[in-house]
Amino acid sequence: MKQVITTEKIPIKIWSDNVEESALEQAKNLANLPFAFKHIALMPDVHCGYGMPIGGVMATKGVIVPNAVGLDISCGMLAQQTDIQYIKDLQLFDEDSNEKQMLKDWMGQIRECIPVGFNHNKEPQNDPVFNDVPDIEILQRELNSAKHQLGTLGGGNHFIEIQQDEQGYLWVMIHSGSRNLGKKVADYYHNKAKELCDKWYPNLPTMDLAFLPLNTEEGQEYFEAMNFCVRFSLANRLNMLRKINKIIGEDRFPEPPENINHNYAVMENHFNTNVLVHRKGATLARKGTIGIIPGSMGTSSYIVEGLGNQESFNSCSHGAGRRMGRKEAQRTLILKEEQDKMEGIIGSPRNQDELEEAPGAYKDIDEVMENQKDLVKIIHKLTPLASIKG
């Protein structure tokens, strides 16, 4: 932990040396909510979000806050190791092809079978996740669309990467969430929360933090809908992984994948109290829990093990964290410099518009990892070889 702010109703504990003022103001709003429990925790990747900063953790008693979960409910990470050692083994696939060309071929095939950006599958996807959809209006309304979205990457900072660990073994890493389904659910219940709070709780620091009491029909509905989005998000990443497994070789993945989420709320016991922990851009780091912390498209990612630090509510960062917005990155970053940072990596930015996710738009991942040594320990450091951005 780097610093503690004690000027608000409850403390704000921070694992970062440099928090932007807008994110700090959002954290202060959280710390003055009447239902916030114990303290607010800010992870080392913290930056401004809607209502609650991304990289923030808040425990509450009796309420759930849609904007403290986030718009992309259960956005998360998947990582799976192969038994392929880069260079040595890739040349065995095709004697006439070099390892770089093999990676390009794989990425081309992945692009052909996994829709990215706003693209969806032409046919609805069959998956067990659809066998038990709660009878909730917004879910039923979006169900047909969701069946076409399952197994799609999305846009923004979502990605598929092939990476290499310290021993040269290749890994597949996927970052994606609950697609438009999660946003629809988030918007629907945030608007309901605003209506209720405007009527009954008009003195909130901001209506961006409008909440739903858990003992109301609306609160229970949102909690159930959110949990379906969590299951949908996990299934979405697994659907993409199965397609990638077929491209690379299903027998080349001897270990099961790690599939984790951020942007969710869950009941846990902390400081001998049952509370609802909201992790927005933060990941579970309970003692022994395996986590995934990605960098930017040009920097390392990490497989970690949680240390179970109670002061962070058993949480850690979900990535490097943005240091500038997407429009600012497109406007101010220099294309040649960002391409040089990704020298040797397949998938570097080709034009100014693609700089929104360039390495320079993100914080230094190694500094982020240094700031959370009391939250996680590193198991693997992964170096990117090829990247597909949504």
Catalytic residues: 318
How many CB atoms neighbour CB 326 within 10 A?
15
φ, ψ of residue 385 to 5 degrees: the values are -115, -35
d(CA 113, CA 219): 38
Distance (Å, rounded) from C-alpha 56 to C-alpha 263? 10
How far apart are the C-alpha atoms of 349 and 354, rounded to whole Å?
5
Give CA–CA dist 335/330, Å, rounded. 9
Angle in degrees, CA 117, 69, 3, rounded to 5: 110
Measure the CA angle with vertex 294, ends 288 and 300; round to 5°. 105
Beta-strand ranges (E) seen in 199-358 are: 212-213, 258-261, 264-270, 273-280, 282-284, 290-293, 301-306, 315-317
Contact 358, 329 (CB under 8 A): yes
C-alpha to C-alpha distance for 253 and 161, rounded to whole angstroms? 15
One-character DSSP codes across 36-91? EEEEEEEEEEEE--SSS-EEEEEEESSEE-HHHH-SSTT-EEEEEEEEEETTTTHH
Question: For the CA atoms of the chain, what is the radius of gyration?
Answer: 21
d(CA 68, CA 267): 14
Q: What is the dihedral of CA 317, 320, 323, 329, to 10 degrees?
A: -140
C-alpha neighbours within 13 Å on the C-beta side of residue 48: 12
Q: Are strands 273-280 and 169-176 parallel, antiparallel or unpaired?
A: unpaired
